[in-house]
Structure 1
Amino acid sequence: MKIAIGSDHAGYELKIQLVEYLNKKVSIYDKGTFSNDSTDYPEFAHAVANAIESGEVELGILICGSANGVAMTANKHDHVRCAICWEKEIAELARAHNDANIVALPARFISVQKAKDIVDAFLNTDFEGGRHQRRVSKIGIV
């Protein structure tokens, strides 16, 4: 599985931990940032969302302080469904019911272990389809 990951400065340390953890499980495409220096979250959210749109990767992970900024930015892209998740059960539902293809993590509010649990749930849950597909199909603007 190919995964894109990106963060701003607030999510940088958590991103490093997740890249190390996930390198043993999946192919990781790190879209930045690459330091703790202050940066603008939209750059990295767009990079991960573009990787989803182009088919370069199957799923994405975005991290910032609250997860709000990266999620708002990513969700501007066609066919991107980015879900803010702070519990593994929310990640499972985001995948199973909403076919989320990016998980947004709030670095200032979760531990590294909780982030690992959320990401594992996100990566290991399949979209259920069925009645949920009908709803997901209505998300895009017509």
Structure 2
Amino acid sequence: MNTISEVRFFLTEYLQTCKTMNADQVSAFWHFPCEISVFGKSRICQNQTELAAAILQSQSLYDAYDIAALRKNVCFVHVPDDGEALVCTQDKALDANDEVMGQWSCTYLMQKQQDNCWGLCKLKITTDDPAVLDQDVPNQAASLLSLS
């Protein structure tokens, strides 16, 4: 399998797992330590347990806003070499009627480790959507996830 095929396979598996909102399963796709940057504030997670806890905390924010589902669409994939890939997604929060409540962009850095397995190692989330910004979501996310 060539690098592009490996990245596509990994992304397909990751995005399917994200739909389950299972923090332990989602965090298994990451290499550690990893960095999460949300709306300009960041945090380093040293292991899968820390990241799973952060994912669970972010889900409490989804619950507070009655977000029924998330839709992730891959917008861009760049593979500069056999061991690294940059992936951008456009994410939408949906209500129970499948209406978009807010949206943001995610940029992921993927790397292939010595065991020849791909993993995510960095995430940056940004938005200019007033539906997200006007609700003070960035500050709530920073507080929940212990970002600085």
TM beyond 0.5: no
Q: Which one has a bigger Cα radius of gyration?
A: 2
Structure with the larger strand share: 2
Structure with the larger helix share: 1
